[in-house]
């Protein structure tokens, strides 16, 4: 889900996006404790969005909605969960920037249209939302939020016919971008995935109830069994008669997000055809050790994102692994902090080196990615100056991040991505490491099964889903 916001340098009719969007979704049909399960599902998916969350339930007669800013466990008190009766529910975790931090943008979005009430939860970004919104507003649509997901709701309302599925399909044919969607009305749960399958989405089962969610870690928490992934372009309709699958959108080329494997999904999850994220990350680490070996005494991860790759690096190189940096788990991901000054401070409050381990050692530090380079710089400095390491060798288990994501991963503009404007040697100097190496794109291809089915635009600028009427540069200007 991506957001639209007005700005003094753009007319209100031409709002522009704020790209910092990552989300988690969870839905359940036919369970006496639908809302409680959704709460647990969102809890397991908290890493996909920490800014706000919501649950919408149905008892077969009407929809009930509770949503708020904040973390799942803080929002959903027992009292609030009791206000969500029914045997079906959908939920959403949202991650966004300060500019868009408003309750009206928290999902599920609930609206009434000709065929009755509907709630929608969206993970992904719609790349033609500006154009669609402009057209809809010209036709008289009044938007309640600045969320691109609301565009889908309006498109469904504007579509023709008495068949809700047909209306949803008509609407989604106009939409370009990434969407894993859950839609709830009084009597059914509908799940749809974009034709490229950009964001993960899977189907599970617990106590005879169907569950649809972003990652399998949400299934695990509620003891649900994994059944299968929702296919790209597939629509699942789940109601009292059971489950039906409809080929809603033609899928020509899959474009699963490679960054889900690298950073975003939880390591215990199985995504994109039941591939374990932890295993893939460990393989990335092994590959990195083969591609960029270095003589050293110790391999340490940047916790938590670098842990599996560091273990793989250690296994492959035979160099001892240990936790040389300790993370304070009660601090949010530093990347979320909107202000540069806070982000700099954030690294220190989040990570502390273990001097006893590092003193006098030649240390290999493994992380999953470098974005702006600011965290890496702080970490290298900390390991050397506070930890007392003799040498610091930085190894990154992904290729240089040179392109922003327009499909639902929080990345800054191209100008802010250090690897888009600097050579590796320049980055090494900036982060003050003794050596720096990234994994190659070839290495990724070797490790990831069916790697041709992945979007790697952040590493190769090859964007699989086109942008309407705009050159990439123009679009990026809009994104700023």
Footprint of ligand AMP on this chain (CB under 6 A)? 263, 302, 305, 333, 335, 367-376, 409-411
Q: Which is nearer to ligand AMP, 303 or 388 (CB)?
A: 303
- Kindly list the strands in the beta sheet with 52-58, ordered across the sheet, starting from the edge strand earlier in the chain: 63-69, 52-58, 88-95, 22-29, 209-213, 202-206, 225-229
Q: Decide: residue 241, CB within 10 A, 0-12 exposed, 13-18 middle, 19+ buried.
A: exposed
Using the minimum distance from each CB to ligand AMP, give the nearer residue, 273 or 373.
Answer: 373
What's the closest the beta carbon of residue 459 comes to ligand AMP, in angstroms?
A: 13
Residue closest to ligand AMP when measured from CB atoms: 375
Contact call for residues 172 and 248 (beta carbons, < 8 A):
yes
Q: Look up 56 and say whether it is catalytic.
A: no
Backbone angle region of 259, left / alpha / beta, with phi > 0 → left and psi within -120 to 50 → alpha: alpha
Nearest-angstrom CA–CA distance, 291 and 285: 10
Supply the minimum distance, in Å, between the C-beta of residue 321 and ligand AMP: 18
R_g of the chain, CA atoms, integer Å: 22
If the CB atoms of residues 41 and 408 are measured against ligand AMP, the closer one turns out to be 408
**Minimum distance, C-beta of residue 394 to ligand AMP, in the bound complex (Å):** 11
Tokens 């400095």 — which residue? Answer: 381
375's enclosing H/E stretch is helix 374-381
Shortest Cβ 415–ligand AMP spacing (Å): 13
| C-beta closer to ligand AMP: residue 71 or 237 | 71
Cα–Cα distance measured from residue 389 to residue 362, given in angstroms and rounded to the nearest whole number: 6
Query: Of these residues, 23, 202, 455, 458, which one is catalytic?
Result: 23
Under 8 Å between Cβ of 194 and 249: yes
- The CB-of-55 to ligand AMP minimum distance in angstroms stands at 24
Nearest Cα residue to 313 out of 289, 330, 278, 336: 289
The catalytic residue positions are: 23
């Amino acid at each position: 889900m991506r957001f639209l916001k007005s700005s003094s340098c753009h007319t209100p009719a031409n709002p522009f996006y704020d790209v910092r969007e990552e989300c988690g979704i969870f839905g359940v049909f036919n369970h006496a404790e639908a809302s409680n399960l959704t709460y647990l599902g969102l809890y397991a998916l908290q890493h996909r969005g920490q800014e706000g969350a919501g649950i919408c339930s149905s008892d077969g007669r009407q929809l009930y909605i509770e949503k708020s800013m904040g973390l799942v466990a803080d929002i959903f008190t027992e009292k609030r969960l009791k206000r969500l009766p029914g045997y079906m529910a959908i939920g959403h975790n949202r991650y966004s920037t300060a500019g868009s931090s408003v309750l009206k943008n928290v999902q599920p979005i609930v609206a009434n249209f000709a065929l009755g009430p509907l709630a929608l939860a969206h993970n992904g970004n719609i790349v033609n939302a500006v154009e669609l919104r402009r057209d809809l507003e010209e036709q008289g649509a009044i938007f309640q939020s600045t969320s691109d997901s609301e565009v889908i709701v309006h498109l469904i309302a504007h579509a023709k016919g008495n068949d809700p599925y047909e209306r949803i399909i008509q609407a989604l044919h106009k939409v370009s971008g990434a969407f894993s969607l859950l839609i709830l009305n009084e009597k059914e749960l509908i799940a749809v995935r974009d034709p490229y399958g950009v964001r993960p989405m899977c189907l599970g089962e617990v106590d005879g109830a169907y569950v649809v969610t972003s990652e399998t870690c949400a299934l695990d928490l509620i003891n649900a069994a994994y059944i299968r992934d929702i296919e790209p372009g597939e629509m699942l309709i789940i109601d009292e008669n059971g489950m039906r699958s409809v080929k809603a959108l033609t899928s020509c080329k899959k474009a699963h997000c490679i960054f889900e494997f690298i950073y975003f999904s939880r390591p215990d999850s199985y995504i994109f055809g039941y591939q374990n994220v932890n295993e893939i990350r460990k393989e990335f680490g092994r590959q990195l050790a083969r591609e960029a070996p270095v003589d050293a005494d110790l391999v340490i991860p940047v916790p938590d994102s670098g842990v599996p790759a560091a273990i793989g690096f250690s296994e492959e190189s035979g160099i001892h692994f240990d936790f040389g940096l300790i993370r304070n788990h009660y601090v949010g991901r530093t990347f979320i902090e909107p202000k540069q000054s806070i982000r700099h401070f954030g690294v220190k409050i989040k990570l502390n080196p273990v001097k006893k381990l590092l003193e006098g050692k030649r240390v290999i530090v493994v992380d999953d990615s470098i974005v702006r380079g600011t965290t890496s710089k702080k970490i290298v400095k900390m390991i050397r100056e506070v930890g007392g390491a003799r040498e610091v060798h930085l190894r990154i288990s992904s290729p240089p991040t040179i392109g922003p994501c327009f499909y639902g991963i929080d990345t800054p503009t191209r100008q802010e991505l250090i690897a888009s404007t600097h050579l590796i040697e320049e980055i090494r100097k900036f982060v003050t490491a003794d050596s720096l190496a990234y994994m190659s794109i070839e290495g990724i291809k070797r490790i990831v099964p069916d790697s041709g089915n992945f979007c790697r635009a952040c590493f190769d600028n090859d964007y699989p889903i086109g942008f309407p009427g705009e050159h990439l540069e123009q679009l990026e200007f809009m994104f700023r």
